[in-house]
Chains A and B, each alone.
Chain A
C-alpha cells in the first residue's frame, strides 16, 4: 500500500477516538476557532495551525509511487472590517514555499465566504547526488472560499487560481533559465474542521490541483506542457 492510502487509512481509523473525546468538552462556536472557514477573525490576534500534507505526484513525472509529507504551518491574523491576513510556510527541506495574503470575510447565518489573494515564493535547493540546482518561483494565488457550519463542524470549499509571475532555475555554476507570466492551473479544496478538545480544532482537507507546474516537485524538472491532477491530503492541528 503506498503512503498516500496508508495515510488515509490511519486518518480513518484514528479519528473516531478523537471524536468521542470532543463530545465531553463544553460547546464552542466552531466557526470562530477554525482556520479555513471564513469568519471574522479576532482583531489583531494571531491564530496558527501546524500539520502536514501528502501529495500524489503524476507517474509521468516520478515514474514510481513517490511521496513525502510536507510540513504545513498556517497563520491567520485578524484585522478590522472583516479583513484578515493569511500566511503559510510549507517545507520538504529541498523544496519550500512561503505565502502571504489578505482576505475579506463575510458571514450570513451559517454560511460565510471570503475573497482573497496570496503571493507565494518558493525556493528549492539541491546540491547532492549529482544535482547542483536552485529553483525560485513567484506565484499569484487569487482565491475564493465558501463555508457552511453546523453546531460542531465547519466545512469550507476553496477555489484558487495559480499564475506563475516569475520563475528562475540555476544549474551548475552559472547557467540560468527564466520564465514569467504563465497560467499554471487551478485548485479546489474541501476542508472539514472540528473541535477535538477544549478549543483545539482538527482540520482534514482534500485538495485537488489541476496544474502544469507543481512547486514541491520542482526537482523532477518536468518539461511536460500538460495539466495534471495532483491530489493532496491535509491534516492540520489548529493550536
Chain B
C-alpha cells in the first residue's frame, strides 16, 4: 500500500510538471541597432516607394522564400510577402540614389526569423526609383539574410518582374488583421489588442483590423480578448478575474499586456487609427458579456466624424456575433443607420441593415450567399483564415471582399499576384 502510494505521488508530480511545461516564448526580432546602415540615409518620397511595389522573381534565396515574392510599401515599412507564410518587414533609406534596405524576415507558423540587409545600386534601379521614372527597365535588390541572431550568411537577390495589376490595386479588398494586428500567441514583438500593435500591423500588410471590445465595470469600452485577466495575455500582476469586474483606472494602473503595454480604451485606439495610420477598415468584435453597444455607438460616431474631417476613408463596423448582440444592437435608436457587421445569416444582415456579412471560413466560400449579399449592395468578409492553402483557395475561387486573418501577408501575396 505504501509502495503504491509512493509511486502514485511520483506519477502525479510528473503529471503536474508536464502540464506546466508550455512556457511562453519570446522571439527576438533581429535588429542592426546602432550599427544600422540606414542612419546615414534619407527617407524615400512616396512616389519612389510606389515604384518599388510589384512582383519580383527570387534569383537567390528561393530555397526559403519561394520563386516569387510581392513587395508592397505601407505607411512606413517596405514589406515582402512570400507564398508560404514567410514575410519581411524592412526599413529603407537612400543615399545618392543608392537604396539601402535593412530589417528582418519571419516565418509566421513558427519562430524562425533572421536579419536582412540589401541594397539597390544606382544603375540597377536606384536612380530610376529616386527620379520616380515609370519607364524603369528593372529593379535588382541584392543582399543577404541570416537564420539566427543578426548574422547574414545567405545571398538574396530579387529581380523586378512586373507591377501589381492596376485592377487589383483599384479593387477594395480588405486584408484585416486579427486582434488589432496580430496575436500574442504568434510571438510578435508587441501585444495583441494594443495601440502598439495597431502601429505595427501595417508592416505586415494589413489594410484593416479587427479589435476585441469589452466593457469595464465603469462602462468604458476597452480592447481585450479573453473574459478574464490572465497570464496568457498579461504580465503577472496583482489582479486577476473577469475584466468586467475592474474599472478602467484599475486596469490602467494594475495590468500590463504581455509586452508591457497598457490595455487601451477603444476611443484611444480608434483615434490612433485615424490620426496615425492608413488603415481603412475596423471591425469591432463585441465580446458581449454585458450589453455594450450603447457605450460603443457614440465613440464610433465621433471617430467616423473625425475621419471624415480629415478626409480619411475609414469604415468602422460594430460586429454582431450572436442573437444577444443583435437584440442589444436593435435597442439603439436609428440602428438601421449605424454601420455594422453581422456574423449570422444573410436574413439577419438584412434585418439590421449591416453593411458587411461576415461568416466563419469553416462554412466554405458560399458563392451563392456572397452573390446575394453583393446584389443587395453589401460586402462579405470571412474570418479567421490562417492556413495558406485555404487562403489561396478563398482568394482564387471565392468572391469575398475581404479576409480576416492572423497572417495578412499571406492574403497580400495571393491578392497582389492576381492578374485582375
Contacts and interface: CB of A to CB of B under 8 A. Distances in A.
| Same complex | yes
Interface of A: 4-5, 8, 11-12, 15-16, 19-20, 23, 56, 58-60, 63-64, 126, 130-133, 150, 152-153, 155, 171-175, 177, 190, 192, 194, 204, 206, 208, 221, 223-226, 228-229, 231, 233
B1 A231 contact: no
A178 to B, nearest CB: 8
- Interface-central residue, B11, B343, B363, B397, by most chain A CB under 10 Å: B11
A211 B414 CA distance: 29
Q: How large is the interface on B (under 10, 10 to 19, 20 to 34, 35 or more residues)?
A: 35 or more
Contacts of A4: 19
B232 interface: yes
A233 B226 contact: no
Contacts of B390: 171, 175, 177
Contacts of A175: 364-365, 390, 393, 397
A8 B387 CA distance: 36
B153 to A, nearest CB: 23
Contacts of B19: 4-5, 56, 231
A-B interface, 7 closest residue pairs, ranked by CB to CB distance from nearest: A172-B364, A225-B109, A130-B360, A231-B18, A60-B185, A229-B21, A225-B110
Q: Chain A contact residues: over half helix, strand or loop, or mixed?
A: mixed
21 contacts: A11-B12, A23-B1, A58-B22, A63-B225, A63-B226, A64-B227, A126-B362, A131-B362, A131-B363, A132-B363, A152-B4, A153-B3, A175-B397, A177-B390, A192-B7, A194-B4, A206-B15, A221-B362, A223-B386, A225-B107, A229-B21
B389 A177 contact: yes
Contact of B15 (A8, A20, A132, A223): A8
Interface in B90-137: 107, 109-111
Given A5-B19, A150-B3, A206-B11, 9 more contacts: A15-B8, A131-B362, A175-B397, A190-B11, A221-B362, A225-B107, A225-B110, A226-B110, A231-B21
Nearest to A170: B364
Contact of A171 (B15, B16, B361): B361
B14 A190 contact: yes
B362 A192 contact: no
